[in-house]
Amino acid sequence: MDAGKPRSISAARPSGRGAPGKRPQEKQGASRKAGNVERKQAILRAALSVFAERGFESARLDDVAARAGVAKGTLYLYFDDKEKLFEEVVQSEVSPILDRIGALASARDMPIEKILEALFQVFEKEVLGTERKHLLRLIIAEGPRFPHIAELYFRNVIGRAMPLISRMAAQAVVRGELQSDALVRFPQLVGAPLLFAVVWDSMFARLQPLDVAGFFAAHRETLVGKMRRTRP
Amino acid sequence: MDAGKPRSISAARPSGRGAPGKRPQEKQGASRKAGNVERKQAILRAALSVFAERGFESARLDDVAARAGVAKGTLYLYFDDKEKLFEEVVQSEVSPILDRIGALASARDMPIEKILEALFQVFEKEVLGTERKHLLRLIIAEGPRFPHIAELYFRNVIGRAMPLISRMAAQAVVRGELQSDALVRFPQLVGAPLLFAVVWDSMFARLQPLDVAGFFAAHRETLVGKMRRTRP
DNA sequence: CTTATATGACTGACCAGTCAGTCATTGCAC
DNA sequence: GTGCAATGACTGACTGGTCAGTCATATAAG
């Protein structure tokens, strides 16, 4: 071994970290601090894909680093540990959903049928149509062992969406659009098919595809009552 | 933490160093003789509780052995490896559900409302009320990484229940008990709240309990249409 | 004694997290 | 503008602990 340099005795530094042009080259002002946002985002994206694919335990941080195009040590410049990284992945994906929920609130006076249609459509496009669907499955899978994450998700998404739906349903009942107050008492009725669609998609789609749009439509139909008009 | 790719299925016989003789009597695909059914069941029970609690990856076979009251080596007299043990746990819990599904088939001529009521009740008692609920969550969590298990579950449970429900719904439509054929086209509508209840229970019950019986009743109410208001 | 079953210390792969070392960039002196 | 020291983001070989799976040995059964 070539001793000489400190660093243990195996300073064999092979390729001497060849990869030269790797520096981010931040824009002017350069926040060279530990805060290269772009790189952090790259890590988060890589982490989502690895976690989604393998689950929290089997996800290897070496893979995350590789996919993000950084060295493993770099991960620790941005995140305290694996668990924290996972939390931030969840957080970062939950935020956009929050916005969508907010948008819903403003649609309060539309007919309930339209609202549900819009809601399901957003879900189909923004969750089922993206990697976010894996995140949802991930939360289900790991939630029980990460109460903190379950709580985060509940407080930010579920806990906000439920009362909102309940309130809109109540208005619909008053307006005579809904015959039953089932949806008022159990806004979860809206969430069930969403969850189901995600699970089916990730597990059984391969064995038997589900016509998600049709499924959602059928569900809306039962919710709204669709009183089979026989002729006005 | 094995990695799924390297270890596990891959051969990679670690130790052994040119083992003296081949394995004892390797019974290909199954454990050796190992005929004590009671002990095997004890191991399966222990494994279910450990897997349910930690997930497949984090589950430690030392824990399974301890809970089953045997030594770790004993596990390998009954199961080839961790993955096989997991599969058998699933298999052993799926079987009883199969019986229930069979029983449903004979109730084909009851009013759809009664059938659904019975179905939901069975689920509440036999799944939500037992450790089996954890299994369901486990399947969701690990299914994507164990296609074999997802398929097993699909073929034995989902794939059988769906057509059955569809057929019963069709009869109900003919009898005029259902105004819409939504349930015929999407028997999954019945499964959605079941799945949802399991997930809610394991993740959010602590934060906001769900009145499962009420939830199921509300869902039945929307499905059946409860024709209160009528057409013009 | 021979065979079936059980045990648990042990082996080696595996991986989260660490840290000594590197080097592009920046800032200061001339 | 040129030279050079300081900075700190980045790297990846390494460590320490964990755990699936093994096997020499022990015990029970026949």
pLDDT in tens, B36-87: 888 999 999 999 999 999 999 999 999 999 999 999 999 999 999 999 999 9
Q: Supply the range of the domain harboring residue A73.
A: 35-79
Which pLDDT score is estimated for A226? Answer: 64
CB A134 within 8 Å of CB A48: yes
Look over chain B and give the mean of its residue pLDDT values, rounded to a whole number. 83
CA atoms within 13 Å, Cβ hemisphere of A181:
6
**Domain annotation covers residue A124:** yes
Query: Is the pLDDT confidence value at B215 over 70?
Result: yes
Res B28 pLDDT > 90: no
Verify that B69 and B107 share a domain, yes or no. no
Q: Rounded to an integer, what distance in angstroms lies between the CA atom of residue B195 and that of residue B123?
A: 10
State the pLDDT at residue A9. Answer: 34
Instruction: Report which secondary-structure segment, H or E, holds A77.
Output: helix A72-78
Query: Do B62 and B90 fall into the same domain?
Result: no
Closest Cα in chain A to B223: A222
CATH of the domain at A50: 1.10.10.60
Do B180 and B127 share a structural domain?
yes
Write the residue in B191, B226, B232 that is nearest to A196 by C-beta. Answer: B191
Q: How many domains does chain A have?
A: 2
Higher pLDDT, B123 or B35: B123
Are A103 and A217 within one domain? yes
| Residue B120 maps to a domain | yes
**B19: which nucleotide lies closest, measuring CA to C1'?**
D23
| Residue A218, in any domain of the structure | yes
> Same domain, yes or no, for B72 and B108?
no
Instruction: Calculate the alpha carbon distances from A92 to A85, A135, A142, A197 in Å.
Output: 10, 11, 17, 22
Residue ranges of chain A with pLDDT lower than 50? 1-33, 228-232
**Whole-number pLDDT of residue B227:** 52
| Interatomic CA–C1' length for residue A37 and nucleotide C27, angstroms | 24
Of A110, A122, A137, nearest in space to A205 by CA = A137
Closest-CA distance, A40 to chain B, in angstroms, reads: 25
- Is A203 in the same domain as A113? yes
More confident residue, B231 or A133: A133
All protein residues with a CB under 7 A from any atom of strand D: A 8, 10, 12-15, 17, 19, 22-24, 32-34, 36, 39, 70-74, 76-77; B 1-2, 7-8, 13-16, 19-20, 23, 58-62, 72-73, 76, 81-83
Chain B closest CA to A37's CA: distance in Å?
Answer: 30
Helix/strand/coil (H/E/C) assignment for every residue in chain B: CCCCCCCCCCCCCCCCCCCCCCCCCCCCCCCCCCCCHHHHHHHHHHHHHHHHHHHHHHCCHHHHHHHHCCCHHHHHHHCCCHHHHHHHHHHHHHHHHHHHHHHHHCCCCCCHHHHHHHHHHHHHHHHHCCCHHHHHHHHHHHHHHCHHHHHHHHHHHHHHHHHHHHHHHHHHHHCCCCCCCHHHHCCHHHHHHHHHHHHHHHHCCCCCCCCHHHHHHHHHHHHHCCCCCCCC
pLDDT per residue as tens digits for the range A141-185: 899 999 999 999 999 999 999 999 999 999 999 999 998 999 999
Residues B180 and B93 in one domain: yes
Please determine, for residue B2, whether its predicted confidence score (pLDDT) is greater than 60: no
Q: Is any Cβ of chain B less than 8 angstroms from the Cβ of A66? A: no
Q: Decide if A16 is inside a domain.
A: no
Give the pLDDT of residue B35: 67
Query: Are A146 and A212 part of one and the same domain?
Result: yes
Q: What is the mean pLDDT of residues B135-145?
A: 91
Query: Is residue B187 included in any domain, yes or no?
Result: yes
- Based on the domain organization, do B136 and B175 belong to the same domain? yes
Mean pLDDT computed over B81-100: 91
**Is the pLDDT assigned to residue B19 strictly greater than 60?**
no
Cα–Cα distance, A186 to B29 (Å, whole number): 48
Chain A residues within 8 A of B179 when measuring between CB atoms: 226-228
The answer to whether the CB atoms of A222 and B227 lie below 8 A apart is: no
Is the residue at A195 inside a domain? yes
Query: Are A221 and B189 a contacting pair at CB < 8 A?
Result: no
- Predicted pLDDT at B98: 81
Whether A110 and A150 share a structural domain: yes
Contact B145 A58 (CB under 8 A): yes
Are B49 and B89 in the same domain? no
List the CATH number of the domain containing B202: 1.10.357
In a domain, A66, yes or no: yes
How distant is the Cα of A138 from the closest Cα of chain B, in angstroms? 7
A212 is a domain residue: yes
Say yes or no: A52 and A93 in one domain: no
